[in-house]
Amino acid sequence: MDGGPMSEPTRKPAVVLLSGGLDSATVLAIAEQQGFELFALSFRYGQRHAIELDAARKVAARHRVTRHIIMDIDLRQFGGSALTADIDVPKHTRVDQIGQEIPLTYVPARNTVFLALALAWAETVSAFDIFLGVNALDYSGYPDCRPEFIAAFETLANMATKAGVAGENRFRIHAPLIQMNKAQIVTLGHRLGVDYGLTTSCYDPRPNGSSCGGCDACLLRARGFTEAGLPDPAQTDENSPRELE
C-alpha cells in the first residue's frame, strides 16, 4: 500500500473514536498501521470517568494524529445510566457473571450517537473510513456492540450523506476488535506498540485516578492481561484489580 509514514499527502483520512481506554487505543494503532491519516474523536458526555479524556489526549499525542477533537455533549440531560447519572456503578463478585444481562452501566444509544458524530466529521474531512473499538465478546452485552448494529450503521451512513449518495465512495465502519477477546486485543496492541500505560478502563475511578478494581471494565482488563501473559503497565499495587470477596 502507498501512504507509508513518510508520504503524508497520499494517506487516506479516517475518523477514529477514541475513549482513552484499552480497546480504542488498540484501534488507533490498527488504523495507523493500515496507513490512514488519523482524526481522533472523543466525547465529554457527562461520564463519571472523565479521567479517560486525559488518557485519550496522551494516546492521541503518542500516535500520529492530525487532529483530536474532544466534543462536549451532555448526555446527562437525558439521565438513565449509572455512567452518567447518580447511580452506583455495580460491582460483580466474579468476572464470569459479566455479560449475562444488559448492565446498568449501559448508556442509551451511545454508540449510535458517537458514530453519528463521527460520520458528520468524516464527511467534512472527506473521510470514508470510521474506526471504533466495539467488542461483541468481552463487552458486557451492550446491544450497540454487535456486528449487526455495525452493519446497520454502515448502511445508514451511505444513505444519510451527500458523499454516500454520490456513490463514488462508500463509507466503511471498521470494528476490528469485534470478534476478539481482551487477551487477543492486548496481544495485538502490544505487537503494534500501544502503550497501555497511557490508557484507563475503570468505570468508577478513585479521586486520585486509580482504578476501582471491581467494576466490569477492571475485571475484564485484568483477565485480558493475565490470559495474554503480559503485565498491565497501568497497574500499580494501589489499584490492583481483584475479584471481590
**CA torsion, ordered 189, 194, 198, 202, to nearest 10 deg:** -10
Question: 109-112: long-range contacts (C-beta < 8 A, 24 or more apart)?
Answer: 109/144, 110/45, 110/75, 110/144, 111/142, 111/144, 111/145, 111/149, 112/144, 112/153
Cβ at position 242, least distance to its own copies in Å:
29
Which lies closer to its own copies via its Cβ, residue 50 or residue 73?
73
Q: What does the alpha-carbon distance between residue 237 and residue 181 come to, in Å, rounded to a whole number?
A: 25
Cβ at position 107, least distance to its own copies in Å:
8
Cβ at position 38, least distance to its own copies in Å:
16
Q: According to the binding rule CB under 8 A, does residue 232 interact with its own copies?
A: no
- Per CB under 8 A, contacts with its own copies among 131-170 are 143-144, 146, 148-149, 152-153, 155-157, 159-162, 164-165
Rg (CA), the chain: 18
Residue 16: enclosing H or E segment and its boundaries? strand 13-17
- Per CB under 8 A, contacts with its own copies among 59-118 are 69, 71-75, 77-80, 102, 106-113, 115-117
Binding site for its own copies (CB under 8 A): 69, 71-75, 77-80, 102, 106-113, 115-117, 119-121, 123-125, 143-144, 146, 148-149, 152-153, 155-157, 159-162, 164-165
